[in-house]
């Protein structure tokens, strides 16, 4: 592959990685018990995850995900 092709594919790879991270975060949230979700109520996390996209997913992993 030429350097130009790799550079042209970079935005697609970043987008795909962000989408995968967001989807994994939503699945992890859905499987989490509401009694052990941290920081905010579960309803607030739904809004943050859906509207916040990758930033909301990062917030979930940092502040909301239950510690195992």
pLDDT tens sequence across 38-56: 999 999 999 999 999 999 9
**pTM score:** 0.85
Residue 5 above 90 pLDDT? no
Structural domain total, the chain: 1
pLDDT band at 22 (very low <50, low <70, confident <90, very high): very high
Contact 10, 25 (CB under 8 A): no
61 pLDDT above the threshold of 80: yes
Per-residue pLDDT, averaged over 19-37, amounts to 95
Range 12-31 average pLDDT? 96
Q: Could you tell me the end-to-end alpha-carbon distance of the chain, in angstroms, rounded to an integer?
A: 43
Tokens of 2: 């030429």
Domain range for 53: 3-64
């Amino acid at each position: 592959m030429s350097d130009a092709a790799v550079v042209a594919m970079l935005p697609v790879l970043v987008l795909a990685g962000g989408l995968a991270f967001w989807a994994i975060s939503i699945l992890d949230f859905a499987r989490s018990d509401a009694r052990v979700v941290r920081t905010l109520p579960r309803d607030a996390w739904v809004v943050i995850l859906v509207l916040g996209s990758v930033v909301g997913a990062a917030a979930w992993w940092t502040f909301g995900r239950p510690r195992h």
